[in-house]
Amino acid sequence: MGRYQNQVVFVPFTAPGDQCLVRIRELKQKFLRATLVQIKKPSPSRREAPCSVFGQCGGCQWQHLDYTEQLRQKDQLVQYTFRKLAAPTQIKTILASPTEWNYRRRIQLHWRDETLGYLKFKSHQHIPVETCHIADNKINDALKQFQVPDSLKCSKYEIGINDSKELYILPMDDEDKPFSQVNPYTNELLLQTVTETLHKSKGLRVFDLYGGAGNFGVIIAERYPQKHVITVETQKGLATLAAEKKQQKSLNNYEVIHSNVEDYLKRTNLEFSVAIIDPPRAGCSPETVRQLLRSQPEDIIYVSCDLMTAQRDLSQFTKKYSIETIQPLDMFPQTDHLELVCHLRLGSSR
């Protein structure tokens, strides 16, 4: 981001401190968009991106920034996004990913002209790839010898590593495909952050909404045997996986419910409890927010991978809740995305 004639200019693939020649390509009322033509003087935080298709592939935006600068920029993004909802002291410093490369345990690739690839940045053009620098090395080994079985032929695939450390390949038209956090290293930090936040609550019932295969629910039930933990998940396959974990670990204080979250909240009293909310990128539906404000759990732990939907949802929750802390985590190094854990406590902040 830069300025030209008192207007903000957004220029992809630049670095803070770069001196650049750019070409304006789009005029908006409040800002301009431009493309990078030449770097006159590079920023001290700029580095050579290791990926040969960086700048073309739409997967990574920040490989050209050293990792310290990436974290600094994400801290600033969070502070700016929540400046009207939380004091700077309530927003903690981002937790770095233990590794910045080869961290993803699943990727999604397009199959065209007998090659696998990503889509070009802001385009539908196919960019073939043989190696992905943010994917686990087992996935990269699979890419080098990838062959499509006749039974799985389609235009898009997910290649990943499951909880048993086994490689899997799934066509993306499979509606019951497994979900897992893409970065298992930062996921450990995420679980630690959520469980430590939960420790501050006196609620003996924990509602794990949008609970998936029990990423939070199972760990919480294990660590807090005095609490009754309920995972609510709309996708049957994920709810089944969570139920299997309950059986494997003999968790008598853990319950799994296959249900739409909105419908479940309409018939459930959450008073004197804790609600953990980990919605899809689109955030909570207006009805989910209404039902949570109606039922008023003592604490809400809101987990999000999208800054703007988190800001939207928290602005509604703060009608009855105060923001205790916002903890960013870097789940997605080399990109402009991150994860948030927000702790809200019943008691209006405004």
Q: Structure tokens of 47? A: 């580095």
CA–CA separation, 50 vs 163, rounded Å? 29
Which two three-digit tokens encode residue 36? Answer: 């990078």
Catalytic, out of 57, 132, 305, 342: 305
Q: Which amino acid belongs to residue 301?
A: I
List, in sequence order, every residue forming a beta bridge with 233; answer none if it has no partner: 258
Q: Which residues contact 317 (CB under 8 A, 6 or more apart)?
A: 289, 292, 293, 300, 302, 344
d(CA 90, CA 163): 34
Q: Which residues, in sequence order, are CB contacts of 267 under 8 Å at separation 6+?
A: none
Using CA of residue 237, residue 241, residue 242, residue 247, what is the dihedral sign? positive
Inter-residue contact 320 to 293 (CB < 8 Å): yes
Helix H segments across the chain?
67-81, 137-144, 184-198, 217-223, 236-249, 261-266, 286-295, 307-317
- Residue in 85, 137, 78, 82 with CA at minimum distance from that of residue 107: 137
String of DSSP letters for 287-314:
HHHHHHHHH--SEEEEEES-HHHHHHHH
Question: Cα torsion for 180, 185, 191, 194, to the nearest 10°?
Answer: -110
Q: Tell me if residue 305 is catalytic.
A: yes
What single-letter DSSP state applies at residue 97? Answer: P
Dist CA 135 CA 107 (whole Å)? 7
What angle is formed at CA 238 by the lines to CA 234 and CA 241, rounded to 5 degrees? 140
The catalytic site residues sit at 305
